[in-house]
């Protein structure tokens, strides 16, 4: 019960890594708020968690690219559970594999709206609350695409580099206020993210799939959730501003 009496808000908690994080955090004693624009699936996950542990989870329909939604997400979490201790900025899309010479403004803006503006809105809102209560913990789900140039298209790679920048700046700026902020950089993980990808050109596959022959296998959402649990718990109390790579060794060469 490493998260006993903690309250966690997890964006994109209806599927994939976010769902695994919600289930693990609830098993470890946390109350979890599952914030996702797929409300139907978020509710399903919340119901399943509540069937195991009474009143441990709630679902909130949230589009993280919409600041009003994100503010309401944090306010509703506080109204439901009295506080927020942990924010997991996990919702993300991997739309498009184009290099910068081919990317459209629409694609770029949408990827940035979800992958970068979302975590920024949520962090800003949560930090106001964290400062009032004397501490808090933010975990940003970045990607190995935030560390290397060849893992996806220009919009995604640049957005995930930005998430890592946001992580480090937040850690630095609020370290003395009892707020920690770390990132996880997953490699290939078997989730539904392909649903957000659209058509992948042969060029995109060839360029960004280079490491796949080296990467031994896809990871599971649970393998990322256990890293998130470490970062969310006091086990990692001296870890701040870190980027924890969890990719089965893909980026080790």
Which residues contact ligand NAD (rule: CB under 6 A)? 11-12, 14-18, 36-38, 62-65, 90-94, 114, 141, 143, 186, 188-189, 191-193, 195-196
In whole angstroms, the minimum distance from the beta carbon of 228 to ligand NAD comes to 11
HSE at residue 86, side-chain half, CA atoms within 13 A, is 30
If we measure between CA atoms, which residue out of 83, 76, 71 comes closest to residue 59?
A: 76
Helix (H) or strand (E) holding 176: none
Separation of alpha carbons 150 and 215, rounded Å: 14
In three-state secondary structure terms, 60 is strand
Separation of alpha carbons 253 and 249, rounded Å: 8
Nearest CB to ligand NAD, comparing residues 163 and 171? 163
Separation of alpha carbons 167 and 30, rounded Å: 23
Residues forming the active site: 156
In whole angstroms, the minimum distance from the beta carbon of 60 to ligand NAD comes to 10
In whole angstroms, the minimum distance from the beta carbon of 167 to ligand NAD comes to 13
Nearest CB to ligand NAD, comparing residues 58 and 114? 114
Q: How big is the CA angle at 157 (ends 152 and 159), to the nearest 5 degrees?
A: 140
Check if the beta carbon of residue 203 is closer than 8 Å to that of residue 154: no
In whole angstroms, the minimum distance from the beta carbon of 208 to ligand NAD comes to 11
Q: Please provide residue 46's backbone torsions phi and psi, each rounded to the nearest 5 degrees.
A: -60, -45
Separation of alpha carbons 204 and 208, rounded Å: 6
């Amino acid at each position: 019960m490493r998260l006993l009496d903690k309250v966690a808000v997890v964006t994109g908690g209806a599927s994939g890594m976010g769902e695994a994080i919600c289930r693990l955090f609830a098993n470890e004693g946390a109350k979890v708020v599952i914030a996702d624009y797929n409300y139907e699936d978020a509710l399903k996950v919340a119901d399943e968690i509540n069937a195991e542990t009474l009143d441990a989870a709630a679902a909130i329909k949230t589009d993280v690219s919409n600041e009003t939604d994100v503010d309401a997400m944090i306010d509703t979490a506080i109204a439901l559970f009295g506080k927020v201790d942990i924010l997991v900025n996990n919702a993300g899309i991997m739309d498009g594999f184009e290099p910068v010479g081919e990317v459209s403004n629409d694609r770029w803006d949408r990827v940035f709206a979800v992958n970068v503006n979302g975590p920024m809105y949520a962090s800003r809102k949560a930090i106001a609350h964290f400062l009032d209560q004397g501490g808090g913990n933010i975990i940003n789900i970045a990607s190995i695409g935030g560390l290397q140039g060849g893992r996806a298209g220009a919009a995604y790679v640049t957005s995930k580099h930005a998430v890592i920048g946001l992580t480090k700046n937040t850690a630095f700026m609020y370290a003395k206020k009892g707020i920690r902020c770390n990132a996880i950089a997953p490699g290939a993980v078997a989730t539904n993210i392909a649903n957000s990808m659209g058509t992948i050109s042969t060029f995109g596959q060839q360029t960004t799939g280079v490491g796949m022959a080296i990467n031994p296998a896809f990871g599971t959402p649970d393998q990322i959730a256990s890293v998130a649990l470490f970062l969310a718990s006091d086990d990692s109390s001296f870890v701040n501003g870190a980027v924890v790579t969890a990719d089965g060794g893909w980026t080790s060469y």
